[in-house]
C-alpha cells in the first residue's frame, strides 16, 4: 500500500492566553490518502480550523504555536520546515479555500492577478502565460466569459463567484492536497450545491485529496469518503463516512446525527420536535480540565468520564472511537 | 482566526462589578505613562497657579541686565533682551497659556458637540448643511483664519480664545456626528422615542452621556492643541500686550537667539512638557474609557 | 470618474465663494474704519475728504452692493490692493506662492514617504526598538510647537554646528550658474522642510503602523500567505497598498493644517513665501493681503484635495465603481 499523502501524529496546537498555554488542538492523529476526501466535523470552536491552519503552517504566531507532534506531507515535516520550504509547498502541493469569500480576496487587485501571481510564484510563468493560465482556470471553475472576468475586481463579483475564484486560486498549481474550511457556509443554499458539484468534478479530473471541514453532517454524507469528528480539540470518532452515518458510536456523534431533520414519506400527524444536544460547547478553560470534555452534556456519562480521557479504541472496519462505553464493550 | 470559544476565556475569577468611575480609574492608574502624565500635569499646574504667589517678580518689567545667562544672577533662568526675568515669565505666562488653552478647548467642545450632535441626530438636510459648514472650516487653514480674526478684532485674551475655538471644532464635530449616527438607532434610544420623549431630551440626556467617553478624550486632547495654537499666534505677534505667555516669550526672544539661547529654549520646554502631559493623560483616558479600542 | 470630478469641482467653487463672503463680512463687521486708518496715514483729513474717500471706495453703498462689487472684482482677478507694499494683492501672492509650494510639497512628501516607511518597518516588529522610537517620536512631534522645533534646529545645526544656513531661501551673493543656485536653495530648504515635516512624520508613522497592523491580520493576507507568496510580496504588494489608504486620506484632509504649519515655519526661517507675507501683513496691519492669502490657501487646499481624491481612486478600485 502506498504511503499516505498526509500523516498527522499527536498534534497539539496551543495558544498563549493570559500568560498560560492553552491547547486548542490535542492528541490529534490522522492520515489522508492520495485522492480521497476526509471530512472533519465539529461545532465551531472545536479546533478544526486550527488543525487546517496547522497543516498549512499558518498558525498565527504569536499567540499560537504547534506545541507537539508532527505533520508529514509526503515525508516533509511541516512543523519543522523552514519558512522558505513552506512557501514552496503552500499553494503548490497544498492549498486552502477559506470560509469567507467576501474578505479572503484582496480588494485592490484584479481576480486575474490574484490567480496569476500564484502561478508565477510556483511555476515561474511569464505575465502573459500566467494570465492565460488564470483565464483557463476561471473557465474550469465555471465562471462565464472568463476573458472578461479576469480583469474584474473582487467587489464586482457575487459571493458564489468569489468563492469560485478562491477555488481557482487554490487549484491553479494542481495541488495534491486541498483544504476547504467551511467553503460554503457564507453562501446561499443553491450556490452551496454548485460549489460542491464543482469540488467533485474537479477532484475527478485532478485526483486531488480534499480535507473538507464543516459542521454540516449532510455535506459530509454527500462528499466525504472518511470522517473524523472533533470535540473540544480532540478527535473522538473516526471512520468511513457510510458507517459514521448509519451507526455512529460516540454519544456526541449520535447526537449530531439525530439533529438532522429527516424527510418522511408518510409523516406522523404530530411530528417530533427537532433534536438538540443539551448544553453548550465548552470554553477553553474547560479544555484544560482532565476527563472527557463532552461529559457535562453526555446522556450516558459515567464517573470515569469526569477524571480520565478515554483512549482511542479500535472497532471494526478501520473505525475508532474515544469513549469509555466503547472501551467497555470491546474489553 | 482563533476559535471562538477562546473569546469567552477569562483567566480572572468573576468579581463583583465596580462603579464605572472606579473601573476607569483602575485602568488609568495601571497605565504607567498616563500616571506619569498626570503627575507632570499636576507639577505644571502647581508651578503656574501657585508659583506667582511664591515667586513675586513682575514678568513684564526690567529687573536686571538684559541677556544675562542662566545661573549668573539671582534670576536663575537668566533675563531676556529687555532684562525681564525668564523664570517670572514662565510662571506667569503659564497661567495665561493654560487659561487660554482651557477656555478655547471648552469653546471647541461646545461648538463641535452641538454641531455634530444635531447633524448626527437629525440627518437629512440638517446634516447636509452642517457638514458643508464643517467642510468649509476644514478647507481654511485654521491658523490663518485665527490670525485674520485676531488681527481684525484686536488681540485680547478673550478674542484669542474665541478665535482658537471657532477654528478648531471640526474634528470634534465629526467625531460627535459619527457617535450620534451610531447611537441613534440603538434600542434604548428607540425605546425613549416610543414613549414620546422630546428630541431635545434624547439628544442631550440619552445619547450624549453614551457618546461621552470618546468626547472626553477629545476634550482633553483639544486643550493641548489649543495651547499649541495660542503659542503659535503669540509667536506671530498676536498676543495680549498686557500679559506674558509662553508663546509670546518665544516670539519676543526669537530675534536674539544668537545672543541668548535661554530666552527661547525654556518657554518651549514648558509648552512641550505641558502638552506632553496632556496627551499622555488623554491617551490614558482613551485606553481606560474605551477598552475595546485599546492598541494591540 | 469624470462625473464625480466635476461634482467635486462644483463643490469647490461654492466653498471658495463662501470663503470670499466670509472675508468680506469679517472686514465689514471688524471695528475700525479703513478710511480713517488711511486718513491717519495721510496725516489727518477733514470730514468732507473722509466722505469723499468713502464714496470713492464705495463704502457708502449698502452691504450687499459692496459684497457684489467685491465678488466681481475677485472674479476679474482683483483681490484688493496692499497699501503697504503698494502692489495689487494678487501680484504679491504670485511672487511668493512658489516658495511656499516648494516648502510644503517637499515637507509633505518627505513626511509621507519616511513616515510610512518607519511605520511599516515598526509594524513588522512590534515592541522592537524602532517601534518604541516611533511611538516616542510621535508623542514628541505632537507635543512640541513646530516653530520651537525650528528654532532648536537652528540653534543646533546652524549656530552650535554651523552646517545649514540660519535663514532665507538663497545666499545673498548668488552663486554662479543654475546648478549652483539649485544646490544653494536645496541647502536652505533642508531645515525648514525637516521642521515642517517633523509634525506629520510622527503622525504618518503612527497612522501607517496602526493601519499596517490591522491589514496584516486581515483574511486576504492569510490568503496571500496560503498561496505560498514570499514574505516580501505579502507585505509590500498585498498589505502595503491597502495600508496606505488611510494615510492618503489623511494627507488630503490635513493639507490645510500643513499650510498653517508653513506660516510658522516660514516665519522662523524667513523663508520668502506666503507664510512670511502673512506674518509681515500682521505687523503692518495689512488686512487685504492677509485676507488674500487666506483665500489663496483655500484654493490650494481644494486643488490638493481633488488630486488626493484622484490618487485614492487609482489605489482603491472599489471607490470608482460606486
Q: How far is B108 from chain C (nearest CA, A)?
A: 17
Give the architecture (CATH level 2) of C90-320.
Orthogonal Bundle (1.10)
Tell me, yes or no, whether B155 lies in a domain.
Answer: yes
Inspect the interface and report whether the beta carbons of C318 and A155 lie closer than 8 Å. Answer: yes
Strand partners, A229: A41, A237
Instruction: Give the Cα separation of A186 and C269 in Å (integer).
Output: 60
Spatial contact of B172 and B109, defined as CB atoms under 8 Å apart: yes
Strands lying side by side in the sheet with A6-17: A20-32, A6-17, A64-73, A76-77
Spatial contact of A4 and A211, defined as CB atoms under 8 Å apart: no
Structurally, chain B folds into a number of domains equal to: 1
Q: What is the mean pLDDT of chain A?
A: 81
Q: How far is C17 from chain A (nearest CA, A)?
A: 37
Helix (H) / strand (E) element for A119: namely helix A111-123
Residue A28 three-state SS: strand
pLDDT digits (tens, 9 = 90+) for A174-217: 888 999 888 887 777 787 888 888 888 888 888 889 999 988 88
Considering only CB atoms, which chain C residues are within 8 Å of B295? 210
Structural domain of residue B254, as residue ranges? Answer: 32-65+73-109+141-167+212-294
Inspect the interface and report whether the beta carbons of A284 and B11 lie closer than 8 Å. Answer: no
B194 touching A (Cβ < 8 Å): no
Considering only CB atoms, which chain A residues are within 8 Å of C241? 108-109
A104 touching C (Cβ < 8 Å): yes
Instruction: Choose between A241 and A84: higher pLDDT.
Output: A84
Instruction: Give the Cα separation of C79 and C60 in Å (integer).
Output: 20
Q: How confident is the model at residue A102 (pLDDT cuts 50, 70, 90)?
A: confident
Q: Which residue in C has a C-alpha nearest to residue A154's C-alpha?
A: C318
Structurally, chain A folds into a number of domains equal to: 1
Chains with ≥3 CB–CB distances under 8 Å to C: A, B
Residue B32 three-state SS: helix
A83 touching C (Cβ < 8 Å): yes
Residue B38 three-state SS: helix
B3 touching A (Cβ < 8 Å): yes
Instruction: Give the Cα separation of C20 and C77 in Å (integer).
Output: 13
Considering only CB atoms, which chain C residues are within 8 Å of B271? 144-145, 148
Across A49-58, A114-123, A182-191, A210-219, least confident range: A182-191
Q: Which residue in C has a C-alpha nearest to residue B147's C-alpha?
A: C282
Question: In the structure grid, which three cell numbers stand for residue B295, read together?
Answer: 492598541
pTM for this model (two decimals): 0.80
The predicted structure's pLDDT at residue B123 = 87
Considering only CB atoms, which chain B residues are within 8 Å of A24? 2-3, 5-6
Instruction: Spell out the per-residue pLDDT of chain B, length 296, in tens.
Output: 344 444 444 444 444 556 777 777 887 887 788 888 899 899 988 888 887 888 877 777 777 777 777 777 777 777 877 778 888 888 888 889 999 999 999 999 999 999 999 999 998 999 999 999 998 998 899 999 999 999 888 889 999 999 999 999 999 999 999 999 988 888 888 888 888 888 888 888 888 888 888 888 888 889 999 999 999 999 998 988 888 888 888 888 888 888 888 888 899 999 999 999 998 888 888 888 875 554 43
Instruction: Spell out the per-residue pLDDT of chain C, length 322, in tens.
Output: 677 788 888 888 999 999 988 888 888 787 766 666 666 666 666 778 778 777 776 777 777 888 888 888 888 888 888 877 888 888 899 999 999 999 999 999 999 999 888 888 888 776 677 777 777 777 777 888 999 999 999 888 888 888 888 777 777 666 667 777 788 888 889 899 999 998 888 888 888 888 998 898 889 999 999 888 888 888 888 899 899 888 888 888 888 889 999 999 999 999 999 999 999 888 888 888 888 899 999 999 999 989 888 888 888 887 754 4
pLDDT digits (tens, 9 = 90+) for B73-84: 777 777 877 778
| Residue extents of the structural domains in chain C | 2-75, 90-320
- Residue with C-alpha cell 493639507? C255
Backbone angles phi, psi at C139, to 5 degrees: -65, -45
Can you give the three-state secondary structure of chain C, one letter per residue?
A: CHHHHHHHHHHHHHHHHHHHHHHHHHHHHCCCCHHHHHHHHHCCCCHHHHHHHHHHHCCCCCHHHHHHHHHHHHHCCCCCEECCCCEEHHHHHHHHHHHHHHHHHHHHHHHHHHHHHHHHHHHHCCCCHHHHHHHHHHHHHHHCCHHHHHHHHHHHHHHHCCCCCCCCCCCCCCCCCHHHHHHHHHHHHHHHHHHHHHHHHHHHHHHHHHHHHHHHCCHHHHHHHHCCCCHHHHHHHHHHHHHHHHHHHHHHHCHHHHHHHHHHHHHHHCCCCHHHHHHHHHHCCCHHHHHHHHHHHHHHHHHHHHHHHHHHHHHCHHHHHC
Inspect the interface and report whether the beta carbons of A108 and C321 lie closer than 8 Å. Answer: no
CB half-sphere exposure, C88, CA atoms < 13 A: 9
Tell me, yes or no, whether B182 lies in a domain.
Answer: no
CB contact residues (below 8 A), chain B span 189-228, against chain C: 224, 228
Structural domain of residue A162, as residue ranges? Answer: 99-174
Considering only CB atoms, which chain B residues are within 8 Å of A47? 3
pLDDT digits (tens, 9 = 90+) for C262-306: 999 999 999 999 999 999 888 888 888 888 899 999 999 999 989
Tell me, yes or no, whether B188 lies in a domain.
Answer: no
Considering only CB atoms, which chain B residues are within 8 Å of A19? 11
Q: How far is C210 from chain A (nearest CA, A)?
A: 18
Strand partners, C81: C88
Using CB atoms within 10 Å of the CB of residue A145, give its burial: 0 to 12 exposed, 13 to 18 middle, 19+ buried: exposed
Please enumerate residues of A whose Cβ is less than 8 A from a Cβ of B: 15, 17-20, 22, 24, 44-47, 49-50, 53, 60, 63-64, 281-285, 287
Q: How far is A210 from chain C (nearest CA, A)?
A: 16
- Distance, C-alpha A60 to centroid of its chain: 17
Residue A32 three-state SS: strand
Tell me, yes or no, whether A43 lies in a domain.
Answer: no
The predicted structure's pLDDT at residue B159 = 92
Instruction: Give the Cα separation of B113 and C132 in Å (integer).
Output: 34
Inspect the interface and report whether the beta carbons of A106 and C220 lie closer than 8 Å. Answer: yes
Query: What DSSP character marks residue A263?
Result: -
Q: How many CB pairs under 8 A join B and C?
A: 139
Q: How far is C289 from chain B (nearest CA, A)?
A: 10
Amino acid at each position: 500500500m502506498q504511503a499516505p499523502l498526509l500523516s498527522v501524529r499527536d498534534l497539539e496546537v496551543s495558544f498563549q492566553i493570559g500568560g498560560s498555554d492553552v491547547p486548542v488542538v490535542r492528541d490529534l492523529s490522522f492520515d489522508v490518502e492520495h485522492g480521497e476526501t476526509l471530512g472533519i466535523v465539529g461545532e465551531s470552536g472545536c479546533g478544526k480550523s486550527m488543525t487546517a491552519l496547522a497543516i498549512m503552517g499558518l498558525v498565527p504566531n504569536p499567540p499560537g504555536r504547534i506545541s507537539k507532534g508532527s505533520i508529514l506531507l509526503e515525508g516533509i515535516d511541516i512543523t519543522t520546515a523552514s519558512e522558505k520550504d513552506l512557501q514552496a509547498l503552500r499553494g503548490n502541493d497544498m492549498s486552502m479555500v477559506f470560509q469567507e469569500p467576501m474578505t479572503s480576496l484582496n480588494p485592490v487587485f484584479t481576480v486575474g492577478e490574484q490567480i496569476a501571481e500564484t502561478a508565477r510564484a510556483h511555476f515561474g510563468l511569464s505575465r502573459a502565460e500566467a494570465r492565460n493560465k488564470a483565464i483557463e482556470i476561471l473557465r474550469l471553475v465555471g465562471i462565464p466569459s472568463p476573458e472578461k472576468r479576469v480583469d474584474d475586481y473582487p467587489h464586482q463579483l457575487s459571493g458564489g463567484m468569489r468563492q469560485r475564484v478562491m477555488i481557482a486560486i487554490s487549484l491553479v498549481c494542481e495541488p495534491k492536497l486541498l483544504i476547504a474550511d467551511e467553503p460554503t457556509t457564507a453562501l446561499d443554499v443553491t450556490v452551496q450545491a454548485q460549489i460542491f458539484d464543482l469540488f467533485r468534478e474537479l477532484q475527478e479530473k485532478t485526483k486531488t485529496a480534499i480535507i473538507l471541514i464543516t459542521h454540516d453532517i449532510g455535506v459530509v454524507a454527500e462528499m466525504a469518503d472518511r470522517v473524523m469528528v472533533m470535540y473540544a480539540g480532540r478527535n473522538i470518532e473516526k471512520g468511513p463516512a457510510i458507517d459514521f452515518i448509519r451507526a455512529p458510536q460516540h454519544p456526541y456523534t449520535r447526537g449530531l446525527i439525530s439533529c438532522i431533520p429527516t424527510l418522511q414519506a408518510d409523516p406522523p400527524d404530530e411530528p417530533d420536535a427537532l433534536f438538540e444536544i443539551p448544553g453548550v460547547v465548552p470554553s477553553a478553560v474547560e479544555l484544560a480540565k482532565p476527563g472527557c470534555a463532552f461529559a457535562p452534556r453526555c446522556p450516558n456519562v459515567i464517573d470515569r468520564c469526569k477524571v480520565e480521557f478515554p483512549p482511542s479504541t479500535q472497532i471494526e472496519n478501520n473505525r475508532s472511537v474515544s469513549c469509555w462505553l466503547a472501551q467497555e464493550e470491546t474489553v | 482566526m482563533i476559535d471562538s470559544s477562546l473569546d469567552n476565556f477569562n483567566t480572572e475569577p468573576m468579581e463583583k462589578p465596580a462603579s464605572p468611575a472606579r473601573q476607569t480609574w483602575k485602568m488609568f492608574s495601571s497605565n504607567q505613562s498616563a500616571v506619569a502624565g498626570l503627575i507632570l500635569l499636576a507639577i505644571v499646574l502647581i508651578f503656574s497657579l501657585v508659583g506667582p504667589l511664591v515667586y513675586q517678580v513682575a514678568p513684564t518689567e526690567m529687573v536686571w541686565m538684559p541677556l544675562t545667562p542662566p545661573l549668573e544672577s539671582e534670576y536663575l533662568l537668566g533675563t531676556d533682551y529687555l532684562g525681564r526675568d525668564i523664570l517670572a515669565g514662565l510662571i506667569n505666562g503659564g497661567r495665561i497659556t493654560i487659561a487660554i488653552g482651557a477656555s478655547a478647548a471648552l469653546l471647541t467642545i461646545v461648538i463641535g458637540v452641538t454641531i455634530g450632535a444635531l447633524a448626527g441626530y437629525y440627518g437629512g438636510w440638517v446634516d447636509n448643511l452642517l457638514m458643508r459648514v464643517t467642510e468649509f472650516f476644514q478647507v481654511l487653514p485654521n491658523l490663518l483664519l485665527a490670525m485674520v480674526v485676531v488681527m481684525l478684532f484686536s488681540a485680547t485674551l478673550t478674542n484669542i480664545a474665541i478665535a482658537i475655538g471657532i477654528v478648531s471644532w471640526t474634528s470634534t464635530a465629526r467625531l460627535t456626528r459619527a457617535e450620534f449616527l451610531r447611537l441613534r438607532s440603538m434600542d434604548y434610544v428607540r425605546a425613549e422615542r416610543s414613549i414620546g420623549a422630546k428630541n431635545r431630551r434624547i439628544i442631550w440626556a440619552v445619547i450624549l452621556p453614551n457618546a461621552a467617553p470618546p468626547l472626553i478624550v477629545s476634550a482633553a486632547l483639544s486643550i493641548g492643541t489649543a495651547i499649541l495654537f495660542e503659542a503659535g499666534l503669540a509667536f506671530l505677534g498676536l498676543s495680549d500686550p498686557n500679559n506674558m505667555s509662553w508663546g509670546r516669550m518665544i516670539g519676543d526672544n526669537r530675534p536674539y537667539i544668537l545672543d541668548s539661547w535661554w530666552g527661547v529654549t525654556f518657554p518651549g520646554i514648558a509648552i512641550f512638557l505641558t502638552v506632553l502631559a496632556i496627551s499622555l493623560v488623554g491617551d490614558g483616558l482613551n485606553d481606560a474609557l474605551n477598552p475595546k479600542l485599546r492598541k494591540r | 470618474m469624470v462625473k464625480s470630478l466635476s461634482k467635486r469641482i462644483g463643490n469647490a467653487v461654492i466653498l471658495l465663494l463662501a470663503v470670499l463672503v466670509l472675508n468680506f463680512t469679517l472686514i465689514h463687521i471688524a471695528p475700525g474704519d479703513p478710511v480713517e486708518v488711511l486718513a491717519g496715514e495721510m496725516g489727518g483729513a477733514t470730514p468732507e475728504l473722509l466722505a469723499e474717500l468713502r464714496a470713492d471706495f464705495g463704502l457708502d453703498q449698502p452691504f450687499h452692493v459692496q459684497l457684489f462689487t467685491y465678488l466681481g472684482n475677485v472674479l476679474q482677478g482683483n483681490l484688493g490692493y496692499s497699501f503697504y507694499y503698494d502692489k495689487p494683492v494678487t501680484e504679491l501672492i504670485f511672487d511668493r506662492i512658489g516658495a511656499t509650494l516648494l516648502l510644503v510639497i517637499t515637507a509633505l512628501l518627505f513626511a509621507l514617504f519616511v513616515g510610512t516607511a518607519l511605520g511599516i518597518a515598526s509594524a513588522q516588529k512590534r515592541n522592537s526598538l524602532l517601534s518604541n522610537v516611533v511611538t516616542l517620536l510621535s508623542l514628541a512631534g505632537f507635543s512640541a510647537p513646530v516653530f520651537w522645533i525650528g528654532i532648536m534646529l537652528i540653534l543646533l545645526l546652524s549656530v552650535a554646528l554651523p552646517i545649514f544656513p540660519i535663514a532665507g531661501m538663497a545666499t545673498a551673493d548668488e552663486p554662479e550658474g543654475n546648478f549652483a543656485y539649485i544646490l544653494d536653495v536645496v541647502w536652505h530648504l533642508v531645515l525648514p522642510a525637516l521642521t515642517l515635516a517633523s509634525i506629520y512624520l510622527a503622525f504618518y508613522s503612527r497612522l501607517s503602523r496602526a493601519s499596517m497592523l490591522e491589514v496584516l491580520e486581515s483574511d486576504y493576507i492569510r490568503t496571500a500567505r496560503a498561496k505560498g507568496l514570499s514574505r516580501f510580496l505579502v507585505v509590500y504588494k498585498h498589505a502595503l497598498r491597502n495600508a496606505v489608504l488611510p494615510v492618503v486620506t489623511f494627507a488630503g484632509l490635513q493639507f490645510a493644517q500643513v499650510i498653517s504649519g508653513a506660516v510658522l515655519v516660514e516665519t522662523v526661517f524667513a523663508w520668502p513665501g506666503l507664510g512670511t507675507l502673512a506674518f509681515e501683513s500682521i505687523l503692518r496691519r495689512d488686512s487685504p493681503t492677509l485676507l488674500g492669502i487666506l483665500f489663496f490657501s483655500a484654493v490650494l487646499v481644494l486643488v490638493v484635495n481633488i488630486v488626493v481624491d484622484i490618487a485614492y481612486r487609482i489605489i482603491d478600485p472599489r471607490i470608482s465603481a460606486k
